[in-house]
Amino acid sequence: MRHLVALVLGLGAMTLGGCASQRGGDAMLPAASAAVVSLDGTPLAGATVRLVSQAYPNQYEKFRMAVTTDRDGVAAFPQIRKWKVESLGMHGEDTFIWNWCVRLDGHLTVATFDRDATDFDRHARFVMYPGESTPCPAGP
């Protein structure tokens, strides 16, 4: 009887241990930067650059940060990590995807729509074309 109780308790502990895992810091936003320039390569100050983090497979937005370009046309983003405890289920775990959106009055808005984390350019360079700017998409 004692062995049966030990077996049941051991299996219960293994089951609970396998259902939840404590993870270190997932990168909600990587350290990244974006250079924004005109057609002739002149740095553009004052552009709003948004870095958007989405989580898959659930396809929901996790985080959005906006930075204004400096006089050198650069917007720098610090790395942001999130500690979490998550359940591992049928869907697996969240995979983070990042996308850019750049808006500057008098220029066409530029947005990326990457669906794979390996497509993300951590040191992006955006050439802005003259035209009517529009708001960044709600969730690229």
Q: Is the pTM of this model over 0.85?
A: no
**CA dist., res. 129 & res. 140, Å (int):** 20
Q: What is the pLDDT of residue 57?
A: 62
Instruction: Say if CB 64 and CB 28 are below 8 A apart.
Output: no
Please measure the distance between the N-terminal and C-terminal CA atoms of the chain and give it in whole angstroms. 59
Number of helices (H) and strands (E), helices first, in the chain? Answer: 1, 9
> What CA–CA distance (Å, rounded) separates 69 from 59?
28
Q: Compute the half-sphere exposure of residue 117: CA atoms within 13 Å on the CB side of its CA.
A: 13
pLDDT at 90: 54
Mean pLDDT across 107-135: 92
Main-chain dihedrals φ then ψ at residue 36, nearest 5 degrees: -120, 125
**pLDDT at site 24:** 44
Q: How far apart are CA 96 and CA 124, in angstroms?
A: 18
Is the Cβ–Cβ distance between 34 and 125 less than 8 Å? yes
Res 92 pLDDT > 80: no
Q: pLDDT-based confidence at 5, cuts 50/70/90?
A: very low
Place of tokens 């241990």: 17
Full set of structural domains in the chain with CATH: 2-127 (2.60.40.1120)
